[in-house]
């Protein structure tokens, strides 16, 4: 339930606070005063699209805030918490808390939403709005003529058990669609998949024959470089070994000999000076190190002697073959190896196409049979609900001064399955007993559509209650006794839900338990409007203005008092 809405700089409303609360709230005002801004403000809080034109002329932004009473253990409070907001509990025994929603719109059209004290995407407001408020305006009368909207209304009336049945059907339908789509893809792409399998077999055979190894390109490049420069490497290593430790007795001193000579010289006098001890140790280590280097050079030369010229041809041939693979399946050797790893499972999948097609054919047939069975159950349940809805709405129409009229809800089952079954739903109006039912679009006037829509909402509220109903001039095209009956029925609806009605009819406003008036002030350069809560004689004067256009007309005032008294007696 909405406790209060605050509006600032929205349309012609500079600043206004709307005290709402339980029961039936009527919003009235002169033409152009901004009554529709109340509905627009609520729409912004419900996540509707914001436009820069909603900002009052001369203001940087418009701002709307709504305060709701919601259950702290309900789905709305949980969604608020999921969005990072809070619902502040104020009545623990009833598990009620206060939810604050707000929305700002800048002059450039940028919008910001606050949910429970935290910034949130505007979409969160839309999700919350679906559980909090149902808004009806004159555009909804047009939607009421749509077969889709009529089916949704019937499904909503059918109740929870039907919803569960429809959910089961929708799951079966989507499962069938998925299997059928996969089957059609396999069948339609069969030739292409055969070609893909043939290409994969060739690729697997080529790659498997070479069996490339990760990092092999770099290793082969190093090996090729060594084999290409084999003689230079041999000469350099041999010269280095001769310099370190020569086997030739040509009188040249090698590094090992020089180190040994230096070591002997120092060892001879080492006893005379302890400072020579670390030097001797270093020379000893150097001698061992150089000897190890000499051994390593000898091993390296021995290894070079085993390399042959024929190996270079083999390495270059291997590099060329790998390069061809990389160009065909790479562009790098690592990508070739990855391709080979993925090719096997893919080839198995493609080679099993025939078996998979057979499996899918059987599974698709089974899924279709289940979907058709559930669709038939949905049709039966819809037809049963249609009869009940027809009777309930027809009873309501009698209470709305449309006695003799009846609503016929027709369920026609087609051949094709859709996400909602195979039914088309049509609302038909029989204007009097014995009259042929006609589609609402051709058989009902604007005023009759208003009353039919109200009758449907009243009936739906009994099976699928909504906390708040908002009606924007739902009484358009209605007057006299019909308007009184609409007011009376709105008052009855307000006994179980909060009802907010923007109206221009005194006959409807008379039944309100809370009367708000949007007042226009044109004294300044820019027209501004505010909202006043009316009671006592101020309310009587507004009612008189609605009746005659003259707030101080004696006959209008008398008529206004009579209407208020009539509404009061009806409520009693």
Specify if 548 maps to a domain.
no
pLDDT at 174: 97
What CA–CA distance (Å, rounded) separates 310 from 95?
90
Instruction: Single out the residue in 351, 368, 390 at which a domain terminates.
Output: 351
Q: Report which of residues 207 and 549 the model is more confident about.
A: 207
Same domain for 268 and 337, yes or no, is yes
Same domain for 81 and 200, yes or no, is no
Instruction: Single out the residue in 317, 351, 385 at which a domain terminates.
Output: 351
Same domain for 130 and 14, yes or no, is yes
pLDDT at 525: 52
Cβ count within 10 A of residue 167 = 10
Specify if 180 maps to a domain.
no
Residue written as tokens 């809805």?
389
pLDDT band of 307, cuts 50, 70, 90: low
For the ranges 132-146, 299-313, 543-557, the maximum mean pLDDT occurs at 543-557
Same domain for 305 and 224, yes or no, is yes
Same domain for 223 and 328, yes or no, is yes
Q: Specify the number of domains making up the chain.
A: 2
Specify if 183 maps to a domain.
no
461 token code pair: 């509220």
pLDDT band of 249, cuts 50, 70, 90: very low
Instruction: Single out the residue in 322, 351, 380 at which a domain terminates.
Output: 351
Specify if 297 maps to a domain.
yes
Please choose, from the candidates 170, 169, 166, 175, the residue with its C-alpha nearest in 3D space to the C-alpha of residue 364.
Answer: 175
**Domain of 40: which CATH number?**
3.40.50.300
Please choose, from the candidates 202, 69, 90, the residue with its C-alpha nearest in 3D space to the C-alpha of residue 132.
Answer: 69
For the ranges 40-44, 116-120, 430-434, 563-567, the maximum mean pLDDT occurs at 116-120
Same domain for 81 and 212, yes or no, is no
- Convert the pLDDT of each residue in 160-210 to its tens digit: 999 999 999 999 999 999 999 999 988 887 888 888 888 898 899 899 988
136 token code pair: 């009806």
Same domain for 84 and 222, yes or no, is no
Same domain for 205 and 336, yes or no, is yes
Phi and psi at residue 326, to the nearest 5°: -60, -40
Same domain for 212 and 288, yes or no, is yes
Same domain for 345 and 205, yes or no, is yes
Specify if 498 maps to a domain.
yes
Same domain for 106 and 230, yes or no, is no
Specify if 202 maps to a domain.
yes
What CA–CA distance (Å, rounded) separates 28 from 40?
15
What CA–CA distance (Å, rounded) separates 435 from 422?
29
Specify if 364 maps to a domain.
no
Same domain for 126 and 202, yes or no, is no
What CA–CA distance (Å, rounded) separates 198 from 192?
10
Specify if 142 maps to a domain.
no
pLDDT for 66 beyond 90:
yes
Task: Tell me the percentage of the chain whose pLDDT exceeds 70.
Answer: 94
- For the segment 235-241, the average pLDDT, to the nearest whole number, is 84
- Convert the pLDDT of each residue in 313-347 to its tens digit: 888 888 888 889 988 988 888 899 999 988 888 88
Where in the sequence is the domain holding 238, given as residue range(s)?
Answer: 194-351
pLDDT for 408 beyond 90:
yes
CA angle, 276 then 278 then 280, to 5°: 65
C-beta of residue 443 within 8 angstroms of C-beta of residue 429: yes
Q: Report which of residues 385 and 467 the model is more confident about.
A: 385
Q: Report which of residues 130 and 158 the model is more confident about.
A: 158
């Amino acid at each position: 339930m909405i406790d209060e809405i605050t509006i600032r700089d929205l349309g012609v409303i500079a600043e206004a606070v709307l005290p709402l609360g339980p029961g039936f709230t009527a919003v009235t005002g002169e033409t152009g005063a901004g009554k529709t801004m109340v509905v627009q403000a609520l729409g912004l809080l419900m996540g509707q699209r914001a436009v820069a034109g909603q900002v009052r002329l001369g203001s940087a932004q418009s701002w709307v805030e709504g305060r709701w009473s919601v259950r702290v253990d309900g789905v709305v409070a949980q969604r608020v918490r999921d969005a990072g907001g809070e619902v502040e509990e104020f009545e623990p025994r009833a598990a009620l808390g206060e939810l604050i929603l707000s929305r700002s719109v800048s002059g450039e059209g940028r919008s910001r939403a606050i949910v429970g004290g935290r910034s949130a995407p505007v979409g969160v407001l839309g999700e919350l709005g679906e559980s909090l408020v149902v808004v009806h305006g004159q555009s909804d009368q047009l939607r009421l003529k749509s077969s889709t909207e009529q089916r949704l209304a019937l499904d909503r009336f059918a109740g929870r058990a039907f919803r569960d049945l429809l959910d089961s059907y929708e799951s079966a339908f989507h499962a069938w669609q998925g299997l059928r789509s996969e089957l059609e893809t396999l069948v339609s792409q069969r030739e292409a998949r055969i070609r893909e399998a043939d290409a994969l077999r060739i690729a697997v055979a080529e790659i498997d024959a070479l069996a490339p190894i990760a990092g092999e390109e770099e290793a082969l490049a190093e090996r090729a470089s060594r084999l290409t420069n084999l003689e230079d490497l041999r000469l350099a290593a041999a010269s280095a070994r001769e310099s370190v430790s020569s086997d030739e007795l040509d009188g040249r001193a090698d590094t090992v000999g020089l180190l040994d000579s230096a070591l002997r010289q120092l060892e001879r006098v080492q006893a005379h000076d302890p400072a020579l001890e670390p030097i001797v140790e270093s020379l000893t280590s150097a001698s061992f190190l150089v000897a190890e280097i000499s051994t390593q050079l000898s091993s390296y030369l021995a290894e070079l002697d085993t390399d042959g010229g024929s190996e270079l041809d083999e390495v270059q041939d291997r590099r060329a073959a790998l390069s061809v693979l990389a160009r065909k399946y790479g562009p790098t050797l690592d990508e070739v190896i990855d391709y080979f790893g993925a090719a096997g499972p893919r080839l198995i999948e493609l080679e099993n196409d025939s078996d998979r097609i057979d499996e899918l054919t059987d599974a698709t047939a089974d899924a279709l049979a289940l979907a058709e069975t559930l669709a038939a159950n949905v049709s039966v349940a819809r037809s049963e609900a249609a009869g009940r809805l027809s009777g309930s709405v027809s009873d309501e129409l009698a209470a709305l001064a449309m006695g003799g009229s009846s609503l016929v809800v027709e369920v026609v089952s087609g051949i094709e399955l859709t996400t909602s079954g195979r039914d088309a739903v049509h609302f038909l109006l029989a204007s009097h007993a014995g009259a042929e039912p006609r589609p609402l679009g051709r058989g009902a006037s604007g005023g009759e559509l208003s009353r039919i829509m109200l009758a449907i909402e009243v009936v739906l509220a009994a099976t699928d209650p909504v906390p708040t109903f908002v009606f924007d001039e739902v009484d358009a095209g209605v007057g006299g006794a019909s308007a009184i009956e609409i007011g009376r029925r709105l008052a009855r609806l307000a006994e179980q839900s909060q009802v907010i009605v923007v109206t221009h009819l005194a006959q409807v406003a008379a039944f309100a338990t809370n009367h708000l008036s949007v007042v226009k002030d044109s004294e300044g350069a820019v027209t501004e409007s505010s909202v006043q809560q009316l009671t006592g004689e101020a309310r009587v004067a507004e009612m008189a203005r609605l009746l005659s256009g003259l707030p101080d007309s004696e006959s209008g005032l008398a008529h206004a008092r009579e209407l208020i008294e009539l509404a009061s007696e009806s409520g009693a």
